[in-house]
Structure 1
């Protein structure tokens, strides 16, 4: 066979492979879309004490198969289209700390639960016979991936300087408890968040990163490379990962899980102490995982562990966190019963991404507002004297 024929055959094989890959990408993208990296390049920057933060003055679009939202930050690196100067005499300023649920991944800025809450409070003030009503101002300090330790650090270094009248900590059960004990190493590389060092693989790291950011087919096939190399090891690792994932749902935790809760207890206690020392009320809002709200998802998650004698309870970490907050005399509100009881045809969570929809944020805002009123953490009749 001549070189020309070999070259032609090679070219034909290459084109066939390219067409097959493109067809596979199209099929996965539209029939079985994967959870992709959702943040636009340049949205984050490295930080000496927080590891990373939202980059000040950023403007971009977060685009996935489930949503397209606009992200804008101010000069302080907060998701906001305005700057925060000195607080006005009739302004009640609320500082919201938390992770991507608080920042509002998947929704526009004005659809986040903090902003919805502030609007409802303002509308209630305008319709009230009590005058003058205060101006409610929300500072959204939520950052994707932040845990309680990072929220505490931000509060100490920057948050209290913003003169909040109320601090609300959004505590997400999906990862906060584990990461409060062992904070993952996260940094910004080439404009993107990266956890730890790049994993080893057959392809060069830059190519793998490009595919991870852009290819649904790559995301679908990535876990199976380890299965092909060593199936038994892959099965064992997956089981261990699920055990760690479910550890907080075990009513009688082992020593390792107890250490996770001890770390959370220390950080919540420190946050309670620093806010009290500044005369600022602190409230904790427990944000449930999607699997806690959906019984079908819950049973699907725990089914692989059915052979264990371990009992898992979907609301156990919520109850334990409520008790922990009560130890430190903190008002705490668990959103799990709210989402479990609210019947609607409109979803609260994005099925693939796992964050709240705008409807989920609205449900949370109404419930949180009622809770804050009941706890007398908001101005009464337009007066700010109870700050």
Structure 2
């Protein structure tokens, strides 16, 4: 009898082992095939991007832009309300058949932008590339090693059990909870069957699960991080971040030369860079000298770095439009939320549509209807920080 029990136990262990091997193998194959599609269509929603599906080959007559970046490109609103969708819709209304593919990934920075560029431009046919740079933390995150350099493409998105943009549960993203993937998949399959396949999130429309006002202390901490690149005294500390931007600029310039693609960078400001009242409030709460922060320095440095290493890369700076809108009283960032609300996303999308239409498609002025007057705002007056000194520290003259 004991031998029989041992044989049964051995059989159970063998089955579990085989099931575990099969689960891990299927998981790896699925992940590889999802990111190396052989068919005609890439299912971006299944990969947890804030987009739907896109054909690998570009349809005749379509002008296609691939948009890369972090959560400001990904966006905290539903797919139809992202800057990518707003821009494509406006261009379509003007008679330009356009598609802006949202390949933004929350929680990443320059090194991941470069990896995503290399990966997706070889798999999705396009006419142009735009990389969104968040002036608040992209440089500081690299300089302070807050984002690992070696994160692979889509690493933050691929393991999420719930799709950020839709709230739909993803068995492909089964949670790592029990040590065995077989048990993880079984538990989450049961979860889907018993509780439904969609998670309802209590956030204001049209936001998604990525929307999340912060606790006051955390919001203050993030706001202080967003000022670091704007402090002239921190130029030396920011060197690694600006050098990483230079690397991205060189990649874009090379892509433009070799792939005959249009290339551009879109600079997105943090609220503290366009709202002087917020900075005064934050400085007072943190005991900082209000004069220590130049809100124009991060944007000026980004433009200076790109002009030095990749002058052929076009730059769309959203700062003037956002500063104009903030000055007239528009609320573009929800309280204690570091991302744009629907109005902010719409303004960014209009700016992107105007840029693409005028710069790459040659649409005449006035062809795009209903644009915000703040898109005509002139450059923001430069602050007191010496950008040349910061640039020399980050990118010293070569031999």
Query: TM-score scaled to structure 1, two decimals?
Result: 0.60
Higher percent of residues as strand:
1
The structure-2 alpha-carbon separation of the partners of 1:314 and 1:89, relative to structure 1 and needing over 3 Å to count, comes to: same
Shift of 1:148: 1.8
1:29-68 correspondence to structure 2 within 5 Å:
none
Structure 2 partner of 1:378: 361
Structure 2 partner of 1:154: 116
On the 8 A contact 1:178/1:260 being kept in 2, the answer is yes
Runs of 4+ in 1 over 4 A off after TM superposition: 185-193, 219-223, 241-245, 304-310, 343-346
CA–CA separation in structure 2 for the residues paired with 1:304 and 1:159: 45
Structure 2 partner of 1:384: none
On the 8 A contact 2:69/2:133 being kept in 1, the answer is yes
1:323-362 correspondence to structure 2 within 5 Å:
323-327=304-308, 328-329=310-311, 330-342=313-325, 346-362=330-346
1:1-387 correspondence to structure 2 within 5 Å:
73-105=44-76, 107-125=77-95, 134-181=96-143, 182-185=145-148, 191=161, 246-303=227-284, 311-327=292-308, 328-329=310-311, 330-342=313-325, 346-374=330-358, 376-378=359-361
Shift of 1:104: 1.6
Uncovered stretches (5+) of structure 1, i.e. residues with no partner: 1-45, 48-52, 57-71, 126-133, 194-212, 224-237, 382-387
Shift of 1:301: 2.2
CA–CA separation in structure 2 for the residues paired with 1:318 and 1:140: 23
The structure-2 alpha-carbon separation of the partners of 1:300 and 1:80, relative to structure 1 and needing over 3 Å to count, comes to: same
State the superposition RMSD in angstroms. Answer: 3.7
Structure 2 counterpart SS, 1:169:
strand
On the 8 A contact 1:250/1:310 being kept in 2, the answer is no
CA–CA separation in structure 1 for the residues paired with 2:276 and 2:235: 25
Structure 1 counterpart SS, 2:250:
helix
Structure 1 counterpart SS, 2:121:
helix
The alignment of Structure 1 onto Structure 2 pairs a total of residues equal to 268
CA–CA separation in structure 2 for the residues paired with 1:338 and 1:270: 28
CA–CA separation in structure 1 for the residues paired with 2:224 and 2:328: 32
The structure-2 alpha-carbon separation of the partners of 1:190 and 1:245, relative to structure 1 and needing over 3 Å to count, comes to: closer
Shift of 1:265: 1.7
Structure 1 partner of 2:12: none
On the 8 A contact 1:298/1:314 being kept in 2, the answer is no
On the 8 A contact 2:68/2:132 being kept in 1, the answer is yes
On the 8 A contact 1:180/1:264 being kept in 2, the answer is no
CA–CA separation in structure 1 for the residues paired with 2:266 and 2:216: 37
On the 8 A contact 2:110/2:138 being kept in 1, the answer is yes
On the 8 A contact 2:111/2:244 being kept in 1, the answer is no
